[in-house]
């Protein structure tokens, strides 16, 4: 037989993530399992003796002996803000002393502080930092990641951020999906005397006026650039109202950008029902979502994306994942990696989802893989290990997917395959990440 891309064989279990919520086996376990990848896609998955008979390991460009180990699909991190500059560790400490997130925003901190740092950074600095973050993500098993803009809040910087995201997608084995989020916050420095953006406590900005600029200036430029796939908006207390958010999302949809909504994170403001109304790909956060909100999302086919790392970092209550699962919602889990939630590990988010939000390990697995792909409108089998799906797989240094939440605080990933090629192991990088002009 001619050489093919990869075979991972002899696994204690292959968790295919092909089961559904409420099934007896949502993780889709194949014991003593193997997978074969040909031309970047899964060609076979099943018992080792069957797969290796058709795809002998000695003929594979990449052979991985997974004896005694578990294999899962590559994680799909469907909500991050991974393109940014600066550091807010002191704000984490301030929150531990009782300072609220709202108080940090009001003083020019939070998002506004990161906006100032991001505007001041060069493109190569932003790209280098983003590649560093992607290195950590892939080492923790992520093979597809969504990255939002939103730390520019002006046309020039939003475009720069999206260009950096696009360049990172070209240079890194992880697939990077771009989302435009000019409506992340109303920029406090908009209208500063001098307009240099160095102050975070400038003259108050009219939110409707800023929405005008997002709709009339930023969105057309973003669409012309052709990088972003989604348009997101922060519909919440202290950010944008339902009416303002609706205007941005509809304008984006008219220009071909699929809606997403940050909803019900800090308070209940109607963002979840707006997501259902506009047919968003996802509604994210949902800490304050009601049963009616969840029913509306399920009826509209909107994927709820839960971000337990954010609640952990804020010391806030967690979203009720158990209730959403019981309502039939395809719950997804993501990291929300950003300067206010500094974790790049979907595995850690999965552990929190189990301990604090009521998911089982199998439900957390499909939340970070199969369902997370739904939040990005991916219907090609991404996030599963089935025939025809992308050949993205993670070999664990553990015998079962249950060890992901069980060994919380540690990285149980042993090797990562992207399109069938080994792209990460504990001991080396296998791609050229040099930043080129």
pLDDT of residue 303: 98
- Banded model confidence at residue 104, pLDDT cuts 50, 70, 90: confident
pLDDT of residue 50: 97
- Banded model confidence at residue 235, pLDDT cuts 50, 70, 90: very high
Question: What tens digit of pLDDT does each residue of 303-326 get?
Answer: 999 999 999 988 899 999 999 999
Percent of all residues in the chain with a pLDDT value above 70, rounded to a whole number: 93
Overall pTM surpassing 0.85 (yes/no): yes
- The 10 Å CB-count burial string (b at 16+, else e) for 76-86 is bbbbbbbbbbe
Q: How many CB atoms lie within 10 A of CB 153?
A: 29
pLDDT of residue 432: 55
- Banded model confidence at residue 189, pLDDT cuts 50, 70, 90: low
Instruction: Report DSSP state, residue 318.
Output: P
pLDDT of residue 213: 96
CA dihedral 157, 160, 166, 168 (to 10 degrees): -100
Cβ atoms 236, 224 nearer than 8 A: no
Over range 170-197, report the average pLDDT: 78
pLDDT of residue 34: 98
Alpha helix (H) residue ranges in 316-400:
321-326, 346-357, 361-367, 370-374
* Closest residue by Cα to residue 287 from 311, 270, 269: 311
- Banded model confidence at residue 232, pLDDT cuts 50, 70, 90: very high
pLDDT of 373 over the 80 cut: yes
pLDDT of residue 196: 40
Least confident of 101-115, 192-206, 391-405: 192-206
Which residues, in sequence order, are bridge partners of residue 235? 240, 263
Q: Which residues contact 212 (CB under 8 A, 6 or more apart)?
A: none
Question: What tens digit of pLDDT does each residue of 323-365 get?
Answer: 999 999 999 999 999 999 999 999 999 999 999 999 999 999 9
Least confident of 96-105, 139-148, 164-173, 257-266: 96-105
pLDDT of residue 428: 40
pLDDT of residue 209: 95
Q: How far is CA 355 from CA 174, 286, 405, in A?
A: 28, 18, 8
Question: What tens digit of pLDDT does each residue of 374-385 get?
Answer: 999 999 999 999
Q: How far apart are the first and last CA of the chain?
A: 42
Over range 235-249, report the average pLDDT: 96
Q: What token pair was written down for 216?
A: 């009339």
């Amino acid at each position: 037989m001619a050489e093919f891309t990869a075979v991972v064989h002899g696994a204690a279990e292959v968790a295919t993530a092909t089961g559904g919520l409420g099934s007896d086996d949502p993780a889709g376990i194949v014991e003593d399992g193997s997978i074969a990848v040909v031309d970047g896609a899964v060609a076979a998955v099943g018992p080792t003796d069957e797969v290796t008979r058709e795809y002998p390991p000695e003929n594979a460009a990449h052979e991985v002996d997974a004896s005694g180990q578990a294999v899962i699909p590559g994680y799909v991190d469907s909500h991050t803000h991974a393109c940014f500059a600066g550091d807010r560790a002191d704000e984490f400490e301030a929150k531990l002393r009782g300072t609220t997130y709202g108080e940090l925003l009001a003083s020019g901190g939070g998002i506004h502080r990161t906006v100032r740092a991001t505007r001041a950074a060069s493109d190569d600095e932003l790209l280098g930092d983003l590649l560093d973050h992607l290195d950590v993500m892939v080492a923790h098993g992520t093979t597809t990641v969504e990255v939002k803009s939103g730390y520019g809040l002006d046309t020039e910087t939003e475009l720069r951020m999206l260009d950096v995201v696009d360049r990172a997608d070209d240079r890194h084995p992880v697939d990077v999906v771009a989302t435009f989020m000019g409506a992340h916050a109303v920029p406090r420095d908009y209208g500063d005397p001098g307009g240099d953006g160095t102050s975070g406590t400038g003259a108050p900005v009219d939110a409707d006026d800023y929405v005008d600029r997002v709709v009339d200036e930023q969105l057309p430029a973003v669409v012309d650039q052709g990088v972003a796939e989604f348009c997101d908006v922060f519909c919440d207390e202290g950010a944008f109202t339902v009416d303002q958010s609706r205007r941005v999302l509809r304008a984006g949809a008219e220009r071909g950008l699929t809606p997403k909504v940050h909803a019900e994170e800090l308070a209940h403001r109607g963002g979840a029902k707006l997501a259902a109304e506009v047919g968003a790909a996802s509604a994210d956060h949902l800490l304050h979502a009601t049963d009616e909100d969840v029913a509306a999302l399920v009826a509209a086919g909107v994927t709820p994306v839960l971000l337990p790392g954010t609640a952990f970092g804020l010391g806030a209550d967690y979203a009720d994942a158990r209730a959403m699962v019981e309502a039939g919602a395809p719950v997804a889990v993501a990291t929300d990696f950003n300067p206010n939630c500094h974790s790049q590990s979907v595995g850690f988010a999965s552990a929190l989802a189990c301990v604090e939000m009521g998911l089982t390990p199998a439900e957390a697995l499909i939340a970070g893989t199969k369902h997370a792909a739904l939040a990005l409108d991916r219907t090609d089998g991404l996030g599963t290990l089935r025939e025809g799906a992308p050949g993205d797989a993670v070999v664990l240094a553990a015998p079962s997917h249950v060890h992901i939440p069980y060994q919380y605080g540690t990285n149980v990933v042993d090797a990562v395959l992207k399109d069938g090629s080994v792209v990460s192991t504990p001991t080396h990088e296998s791609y050229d990440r040099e930043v080129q002009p």
